[in-house]
Homo-oligomer: A and B are copies of this chain.
């Protein structure tokens, strides 16, 4: 008998499989989820299952408090962070987390990724924020839930909108990205990794490379996302 969440599970499965094709993960070091806002539930990759063994029906279904709704396998260990984001940002449809190389390197360096060029500005107008590691109390407590809090706090502190900046680095850990659906969340993970590598190389070549000037930030973002956008179909 097939799950009533079959379509959602397929969307979630396909987004997870993209992580490997896009070279954003080794082994099982990543996870993507997709939400169904009508049902109030989301699907997420099970924990520690090799990509070659994954099937759409293995995707675990949970509510926004991370209670199990359907599924035989244990969900990703980062599930509570996904749940927290769905609960508090009602307008996102997918979340992705990876340990992609250059994204992790910036997270481990505990630095925001400066906006150096138009590849970055085509997607967001701010630096890519790096949330500083949380306090020991929060780590020892409900850690993954608290990672959700950490993300929202960082956005509040830096005065960022999660609809304009769809990505963050968790200091010493790695990237979380999101978007209108799971596919877009994965896309943002790849964009982040690409921009992270470009910024890395830029600073190696010229440690004093300046940030992109405001007029270029605005122009590139507007031509893709503004009301008179002329990028894409």
Chain A interface (Cβ within 8 Å of chain B)?
Answer: 26-27, 29, 46-49, 73-74, 77, 99, 101-102, 104-111, 116-119, 122, 133, 136, 139-140, 143, 172-174, 187, 190, 194, 197-206, 209-210, 212-213, 215-216, 219, 223-224, 230-233
Contact = CB atoms under 8 A, between A and B. Distances in A.
A224 B190 CA distance: 26
Contacts of A109: 202, 205-206, 209
A215 B135 CA distance: 9
A199 B204 CA distance: 12
Given A109-B209, A201-B105, A219-B139, A233 B49 contact: yes
Nearest to A205: B109
Counting chain B CB atoms within 10 Å of each CB, the highest count among A74, A99, A119, A223 belongs to A119
8 contacts: A27-B190, A104-B198, A109-B202, A111-B206, A118-B172, A133-B213, A136-B215, A172-B216
A108 B116 CA distance: 6
Nearest to A212: B172
Given A133-B213, A219-B143, A48 B117 contact: no
A2 B210 CA distance: 50
B117 A104 contact: yes
A109 to B, nearest CB: 4
Nearest to A144: B223
Contact of A230 (B77, B102, B231, B232): B77
Nearest to A75: B230
- A-B residue pairs, 3 tightest by C-beta: A48-B232, A105-B201, A109-B206
A84 to B, nearest CB: 16
Counting chain B CB atoms within 10 Å of each CB, the highest count among A73, A219, A224 belongs to A219
A101 B26 contact: no
A222 to B, nearest CB: 10
A116 B172 contact: yes
